[in-house]
């Protein structure tokens, strides 16, 4: 095996695939990267048996075809530290990977490529396509709401709910819900698939802010994400996801229209007192007292109290309600428009937050009970 490649091109591929290689495992091969040279293509593959990625570099100067496996972190570290320019990579007579660039030369131990677990062959049953920038935005605006509780594994994933002409991405952690909907190009029937949130974030890192399409294929227990130069395979979570359509309240007693930045800044300042330095495990709620023309945002704890006033337009009843400030802030940061709606039922029912101009995004958060 021998080939020449520009450092920048090789590093681009490495930076994409290396994130899916396993560290600190009893199986060294899973820490490796498969380097497969075919004709004028260099195929880089990582696979930890939960998520795998294949990245193709085209127009590589191939001298001799072949394949091998090397430690992914070590290989990437070497390439990062080399100067820009052409790199020559080959296997020597001692089966070591030889890396040469200008006056630099490195030799790296290799592993048997036949021992590397290949990416599974997926029999795609259903698929959809949508612009990369749209799917990237959908992940960004929902995946932060997945649960980190491994005792409820179904909520550590995002639901991909594909209809005939739209895709819903939904995340839930038991205290909040985030939903984003977008039109798609569908080649098949409807499907529902739950992708682990951490793997969906890895997919997002490979997406560009472009209109070029990403194709999503679903089989019984795996998902395939296909881009022009790479493909990613992940396992799916099994189980019943929350029936989100019936959880989001349809009725409201109170609606406020409020400047997003003003409310976000008020909550950020007041939440200084939410976590007491004297009681690190205790979290105090942010209180919102909703009047006709303003909202009083306050927080009281052992170390002090804060009060902020924000102007609003109110429809319906006055209300006092408490929230975990992090959940409110996460939703406000995800909304890019200037104003938001906040819909309330009672002080113990969920609050629904939406942009005033974009109905494709919905955020719901459960309140915290306030002491009398």
H-helix or E-strand spanning residue 260: helix 260-270
Helices marked H in 124-235: 132-140, 197-205
Tens digits of per-residue pLDDT, 178-227?
999 998 876 657 899 999 999 999 999 999 999 999 999 999 899 999 99
Radius of gyration of the chain (CA): 25
Mean pLDDT of 155-159: 97
CA atoms 100, 105, 110, 116: torsion sign: negative
205: β partners: none
Backbone φ, ψ for residue 124 (5° rounding): -65, 125
At 46, list the tokens. 């990582």
For residue 200, what are the contacts with CB-CB under 8 A and spacing of at least 6?
139, 143, 157, 158, 234
At 215, list the tokens. 């194709």
Tens digits of per-residue pLDDT, 8-56?
999 999 998 987 766 656 688 999 999 999 988 999 999 989 999 999 9
CATH architecture of the domain covering 2-115: Roll (3.10)
Secondary structure (3-state) at 144: helix
Cβ 286 vs Cβ 274: under 8 Å: yes
How many helices and strands (H and E) does the chain possess?
A: 7, 26
CATH 3.10.150.10 in the chain is located at 2-115, 126-244, 248-365
CA within 13 Å, CB half, 333 = 13
Tens digits of per-residue pLDDT, 99-114?
999 989 999 999 999 9
Superfamily of domain 126-244: DNA Polymerase III, subunit A, domain 2 (3.10.150.10)
Q: Please state which CATH class domain 248-365 belongs to.
A: alpha beta
pLDDT band at 372 (very low <50, low <70, confident <90, very high): low
Residue owning tokens 């209300």 = 319
> What is the C-alpha to C-alpha distance for residues 354 and 331, in angstroms, rounded to an integer?
9
91: β partners: 97
**With 60 as the cut, is the pLDDT of residue 123 above it?**
yes
Q: Record the pTM.
A: 0.91
> What is the C-alpha to C-alpha distance for residues 365 and 248, in angstroms, rounded to an integer?
10
């Amino acid at each position: 095996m021998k080939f020449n490649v520009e450092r920048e091109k090789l590093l681009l591929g490495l930076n994409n695939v290396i994130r899916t290689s396993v560290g600190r495992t009893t199986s060294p091969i899973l820490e490796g990267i498969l380097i497969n040279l075919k004709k004028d293509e260099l195929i880089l593959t990582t696979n930890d048996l939960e998520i795998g990625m294949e990245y193709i570099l085209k127009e590589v100067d191939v001298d001799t075809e072949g394949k091998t496996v090397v430690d992914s972190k070590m290989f990437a570290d070497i390439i990062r530290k080399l100067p820009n320019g052409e790199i020559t990579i080959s296997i020597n007579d001692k089966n070591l990977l030889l890396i040469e660039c200008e006056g630099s030369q490195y030799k790296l131990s290799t592993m048997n490529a036949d021992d590397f677990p290949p990416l599974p062959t997926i029999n795609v049953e259903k698929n959809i396509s949508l612009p990369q920038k749209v799917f990237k935005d959908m992940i960004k605006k929902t995946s932060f709401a997945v649960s980190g509780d491994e005792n409820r594994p179904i909520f550590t994933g995002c639901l991909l709910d594909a209809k005939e002409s739209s895709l819903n991405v939904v995340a839930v952690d038991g205290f909040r819900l985030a939903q984003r909907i977008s039109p798609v190009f569908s080649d098949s029937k409807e499907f529902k698939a739950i992708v682990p949130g951490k793997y969906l974030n890895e997919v997002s890192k490979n997406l560009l802010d472009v209109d070029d399409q990403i194709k999503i294929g679903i089989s019984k227990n795996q998902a395939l994400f296909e881009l022009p130069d790479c493909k990613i395979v992940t396992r799916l979570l099994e189980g019943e996801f929350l029936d989100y359509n019936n959880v989001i309240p349809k009725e409201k007693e109170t609606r406020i229209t409020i400047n997003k930045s003003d409310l976000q800044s008020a909550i950020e300042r007041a939440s200084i007192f939410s976590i007491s330095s004297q009681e690190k495990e205790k979290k105090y709620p942010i209180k919102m007292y909703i009047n006709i023309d303003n909202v009083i945002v306050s927080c009281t704890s052992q170390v002090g109290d804060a009060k902020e006033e924000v102007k609003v337009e109110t429809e319906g009843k006055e209300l006092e309600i408490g929230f975990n400030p992090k959940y409110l802030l996460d939703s406000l940061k995800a909304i890019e428009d200037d104003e938001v709606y906040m819909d309330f039922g009672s002080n113990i029912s969920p609050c629904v937050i939406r942009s005033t101009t974009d109905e494709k995004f919905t955020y719901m958060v459960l309140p915290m009970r306030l002491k009398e």
